[in-house]
Structure 1
Amino acid sequence: MDGTKLISSHYCILLILVLLQLFFSTSLAAVNSTSTPISPNVACNATMYPKFCKSMLPRNDTSNIRDYSRFSVHRSLSAANKFLSLINKYLRHRSTLSITAIRALEDCRLLAGLNIDFLLSTMTSLNATKPLLSYETDDLQTLLSAILTNQQTCSDGLEATASSWSLKDGLYTPLSNGTKLYSVSLSLFTRGWVRKKNKCKSCDEGRKLIFSEMEHVRHGPLPLRMSNSNREIFESASRRQLLQTNGDDVLVNDVVVVSQNGTGNFTTISDAVAAAPNNTGIDSGYFLIYITAGVYEEYVSIAKNKKYLMMIGDGINQTVITGNRSFVDGWTTFNSATFAVVGHGFVAVNITICNTAGAIKHQAVALRNGADLSSFYGCSFEGYQDTLYSHSLRQFYRECDIYGTVDFIFGNAAVVLQNCNIYVRLPLSYQFNAVTAQGRTDPNQNTGTSIHNCSILASPDLASSNGTTNTYLGRPWKEYSRTIYMQSFMDTLINPKGWTPWSGDFALNTSFYAEFNNSGAGSNLIDRITWPGYHEINATDAANFTVDNFILGDDWLPTTGVSYTGGLL
Structure 2
Amino acid sequence: MIPIDNTRRVIFVIKPGIYREKIVIPKAMSFITLLGTGESPPTITGNDTASTGGKDGKPLKTFHSPTVAVNADYFVALNIRFENAAPNPESGQVGGQAVALRVSGGKAAFYNCSFYGTQDTLYDHKGLHYFNNCFIQGSVDFIFGYGRSLYENCYLNSIAKKVASLTAQKGGGLAPMESGFSFTRSTIAGSGGGPVYLGRAWGKHSRVVFSYTFMDKVVIPQGWNSWRIRRPESSGVYYGEYQCSGPGANWTGRVRWAHLLTAAEAQPFLGTHYVVGDAWILGPPLP
1:316/1:380 contact within 8 Å kept? no
Q: Which residue of 1 is the match for residue 74 of structure 2?
A: 345
Task: Verify: 1:513 aligned to 2:239, yes or no.
Answer: yes
d(CA) in 2 for partners of 1:307 and 1:391? Answer: 17
d(CA) in 1 for partners of 2:109 and 2:42? Answer: 17
Following TM superposition, by how much is the alpha carbon of 1:426 offset from its aligned partner in structure 2, in angstroms?
3.1
Compute the RMSD of aligned alpha carbons: 1.7
Task: Verify: 1:363 aligned to 2:89, yes or no.
Answer: no
Once the two structures are superposed, residues 476-535 of structure 1 have per-residue CA deviations (whole angstroms, 9 ceiling, x without a partner) of: 01111000001111011111111123236264532100111101111110110113xx21
1:317/1:351 contact within 8 Å kept? no
Once the two structures are superposed, residues 28-48 of structure 1 have per-residue CA deviations (whole angstroms, 9 ceiling, x without a partner) of: xxxxxxxxxxxxxxxxxxxxx
1:315/1:352 contact within 8 Å kept? no
From 434, 443, 447, the counterpart of 2:179: 447
d(CA) in 2 for partners of 1:506 and 1:398? Answer: 34
d(CA) in 1 for partners of 2:16 and 2:201? Answer: 39
Following TM superposition, by how much is the alpha carbon of 1:318 offset from its aligned partner in structure 2, in angstroms?
3.4
Q: Which residue of 2 is the match for residue 540 of structure 1?
A: 264
Q: Which has the larger radius of gyration?
A: 1
1:473/1:498 contact within 8 Å kept? yes
Task: Verify: 1:312 aligned to 2:41, yes or no.
Answer: no
From 145, 163, 167, the counterpart of 1:411: 145
- SS of residue in 2 equivalent to 1:559: coil
Task: Verify: 1:276 aligned to 2:8, yes or no.
Answer: no
d(CA) in 2 for partners of 1:505 and 1:346? Answer: 38
After the TM superposition, which residues 66-105 of structure 1 pair with which residues of structure 2 at under 5 Å, given as runs? Answer: none
Give the partner amino acid of 1:452.
T
2:201/2:229 contact within 8 Å kept? no
d(CA) in 1 for partners of 2:270 and 2:232? Answer: 24
Q: Which residue of 2 is the match for residue 487 of structure 1?
A: 212
- SS of residue in 1 equivalent to 2:224: coil
Following TM superposition, by how much is the alpha carbon of 1:358 offset from its aligned partner in structure 2, in angstroms?
1.6
d(CA) in 2 for partners of 1:315 and 1:512? Answer: 36
Following TM superposition, by how much is the alpha carbon of 1:332 offset from its aligned partner in structure 2, in angstroms?
0.9
Following TM superposition, by how much is the alpha carbon of 1:278 offset from its aligned partner in structure 2, in angstroms?
2.6
From 49, 52, 61, the counterpart of 1:332: 61
d(CA) in 1 for partners of 2:106 and 2:188? Answer: 26
2:140/2:160 contact within 8 Å kept? no
1:280/1:307 contact within 8 Å kept? yes
Once the two structures are superposed, residues 331-367 of structure 1 have per-residue CA deviations (whole angstroms, 9 ceiling, x without a partner) of: 2111111100011100000000111112126211111
- Which TM-score applies when normalising by structure 1? 0.46
After the TM superposition, which residues 414-429 of structure 1 pair with which residues of structure 2 at under 5 Å, given as runs? Answer: 414-427=148-161
From 301, 307, 313, the counterpart of 2:24: 301
Give the partner amino acid of 2:47.
N
TM-aligned CA distance change 1:339 to 1:506, over 3 Å: farther
Task: Verify: 1:396 aligned to 2:127, yes or no.
Answer: no
d(CA) in 2 for partners of 1:383 and 1:302? Answer: 20
Q: Which residue of 2 is the match for residue 478 of structure 1?
A: 203
TM-aligned CA distance change 1:433 to 1:333, over 3 Å: same
Once the two structures are superposed, residues 190-210 of structure 1 have per-residue CA deviations (whole angstroms, 9 ceiling, x without a partner) of: xxxxxxxxxxxxxxxxxxxxx
Give the partner amino acid of 1:399.
N
d(CA) in 1 for partners of 2:231 and 2:118? Answer: 25
d(CA) in 2 for partners of 1:338 and 1:376? Answer: 16
Give the partner amino acid of 1:350.
N
Q: Which has the higher contact order (CA 8 A, sep 6+)?
A: 2
d(CA) in 2 for partners of 1:508 and 1:337? Answer: 34
Once the two structures are superposed, residues 292-328 of structure 1 have per-residue CA deviations (whole angstroms, 9 ceiling, x without a partner) of: 1111111111111111011101248630001111123
d(CA) in 2 for partners of 1:383 and 1:288? Answer: 26
Give the partner amino acid of 1:554.
D
Once the two structures are superposed, residues 366-393 of structure 1 have per-residue CA deviations (whole angstroms, 9 ceiling, x without a partner) of: 1100111100000000001100010001
Following TM superposition, by how much is the alpha carbon of 1:433 offset from its aligned partner in structure 2, in angstroms?
1.8
d(CA) in 1 for partners of 2:132 and 2:6? Answer: 25
2:203/2:229 contact within 8 Å kept? no
Q: Which residue of 2 is the match for residue 553 of structure 1?
A: 277
More strand by share: 2
Give the partner amino acid of 1:424.
S
Once the two structures are superposed, residues 62-115 of structure 1 have per-residue CA deviations (whole angstroms, 9 ceiling, x without a partner) of: xxxxxxxxxxxxxxxxxxxxxxxxxxxxxxxxxxxxxxxxxxxxxxxxxxxxxx
1:421/1:455 contact within 8 Å kept? yes
Q: Which residue of 1 is the match for residue 165 of structure 2?
A: 434
d(CA) in 1 for partners of 2:149 and 2:123? Answer: 11
1:514/1:535 contact within 8 Å kept? yes
Q: Which residue of 2 is the match for residue 130 of structure 1?
A: none
d(CA) in 2 for partners of 1:316 and 1:425? Answer: 25
Give the partner amino acid of 1:481.
S
Q: Which residue of 1 is the match for residue 224 of structure 2?
A: 499
d(CA) in 2 for partners of 1:556 and 1:458? Answer: 33
Q: Which moved more, 1:340-349 or 1:321-330?
A: 321-330
More helix by share: 1
Runs of at least 4 residues off by over 4 Å: none
After the TM superposition, which residues 84-233 of structure 1 pair with which residues of structure 2 at under 5 Å, given as runs? Answer: none
Give the partner amino acid of 1:543.
Q
Once the two structures are superposed, residues 174-221 of structure 1 have per-residue CA deviations (whole angstroms, 9 ceiling, x without a partner) of: xxxxxxxxxxxxxxxxxxxxxxxxxxxxxxxxxxxxxxxxxxxxxxxx
